[in-house]
Structure 1
Amino acid sequence: MTSGPLKPLAGPARRTVVTAAGAAGLAVALTACGSSDDDSSPAAGSNDSGTTGTTGSTGTSETPAATGGSAGGKALAATADIPEGGGKVFASEKVVVTQPTAGTYKAFSAVCTHQGCAVKSVADGVINCPCHNSNFSIEDGSVKSGPAQKPLPSVNIAVSGTNITLA
């Protein structure tokens, strides 16, 4: 038996340790960016299509389908409350009502299809979501600018005289 100098066991190289620590930090940062803790929560059925509203000038409705989860028959506003070329958000009903052209009223879910935030305003012909700056058309709820990929679902409304109600 010969005895010689003992060599220390090889451990991980400094580069390996620094790389692993950097990767772990990056994973934590990406996880934090992946989800939003907004005040709004997604509405049930927010990805289901609904119908567009009735037109004030003709009183006829367009393609029927399921509503966006709101109770029917509830009075929302007077037609005079909805500006032409704009609209109004009804936060408690989770509905936004627009008037793209004079006498034509449309309604959409006020829940953004990106991550379920509540849309907050209507200006310059678009419905605005403040969480990630998605914008939707007041005419058909289609995406004008993302990150949202899907349009706002339509909601049934009825226009009777000067009153707008959920259908």
Structure 2
Amino acid sequence: MSSESLQPAPTLCRRTLLAALGGAGLAATLTACGGSDDSSSGSAGSSESSGSGSSGSSGGEALAKTSEIPEGGGKVFADQGVVVTQPTAGDFKAYSTVCPHQKQRVNSVDNGVITCPAHGSQFSVTDGSVEKGPATSGLTAAKVMVDGDSIMLM
């Protein structure tokens, strides 16, 4: 073997390697974000829903049947990060499960209040406002709608 035929393997500089990896990551992100848009552009309404329902499918994720949410109470959907309440018959509302006090998750609805187990803050099922601190602001409203007998997370 002659020394002329042996060439050292090319080395990648750190900058070239990072640029290549960054480009691959960007391509993966754009691919994941692309595709069809299944979100409903007609859901610019309020964060609450009346029991009147609507016909047809408007997108969103079905959370529960209306019969599963007790009047004057509610139900926590931990996986979706939302609590749905029914303050009065046929009036469904939803809020984020994130307590504004220290970002812990509310986990129960009893006797007309949504409770955070971390420090005992309680929130109204009617409007998500603070009933008992230490939280000083209410729960953030989420968007739901009633479609027939289903409650849809928008």
TM-score normalised over the length of structure 2 = 0.66
In structure 1, C-alpha distance between the alignment counterparts of 2:100 and 2:66, rounded to whole Å: 27
Aligned residue among 118, 136, 144 for 1:149: 136
The equivalent residue for 2:4 is: none
What are the equivalent positions in structure 2 for 1:113-128 lying under 5 Å apart?
113-128=100-115
- DSSP-derived class of the 1:92 partner: helix
Do structure 1's residue 140 and structure 2's residue 116 form an aligned pair? no
Do structure 1's residue 54 and structure 2's residue 49 form an aligned pair? yes
Structure 1 consecutive aligned stretches of length 4 or more whose deviation exceeds 4 Å:
none
Aligned residue among 75, 78, 81 for 1:94: 81
Do structure 1's residue 110 and structure 2's residue 97 form an aligned pair? yes
CA-CA distance at 1:115 after TM superposition: 0.4
- What amino acid maps onto 1:165 in structure 2? M
CA-CA distance at 1:57 after TM superposition: 3.2
The equivalent residue for 2:117 is: 130
> Structure 1 residues 122, 151: CA separation in 2 closer, same or farther (over 3 Å shift)?
same
TM-score normalised over the length of structure 1 = 0.61
- CA-to-aligned-CA distance 1:107-146 (integer Å, 9 cap, x gap): 0001101001110100010000010000000010000000
In structure 2, C-alpha distance between the alignment counterparts of 1:51 and 1:132, rounded to whole Å: 30
Q: Which runs of 5+ in 1 are unaligned?
A: 1-49, 60-71
Question: Could you tell me the percent identity over the aligned residues?
Answer: 56
- DSSP-derived class of the 1:89 partner: strand
Higher strand share: 2
- What amino acid maps onto 1:53 in structure 2? E
CA-CA distance at 1:51 after TM superposition: 4.5
CA-CA distance at 1:158 after TM superposition: 1.1
- What amino acid maps onto 2:106 in structure 1? V
The equivalent residue for 1:158 is: 145
In structure 1, C-alpha distance between the alignment counterparts of 2:89 and 2:48, rounded to whole Å: 14
Q: Is the Cα–Cα contact under 8 Å of residues 83 and 99 in structure 1 kept in the other structure?
A: yes
Q: Is the Cα–Cα contact under 8 Å of residues 53 and 148 in structure 2 kept in the other structure?
A: no
- CA-to-aligned-CA distance 1:76-128 (integer Å, 9 cap, x gap): 00001100000000001100000000000000001101001110100010000
- CA-to-aligned-CA distance 1:12-54 (integer Å, 9 cap, x gap): xxxxxxxxxxxxxxxxxxxxxxxxxxxxxxxxxxxxxx94321
Q: Which runs of 5+ in 2 are unaligned?
A: 1-44
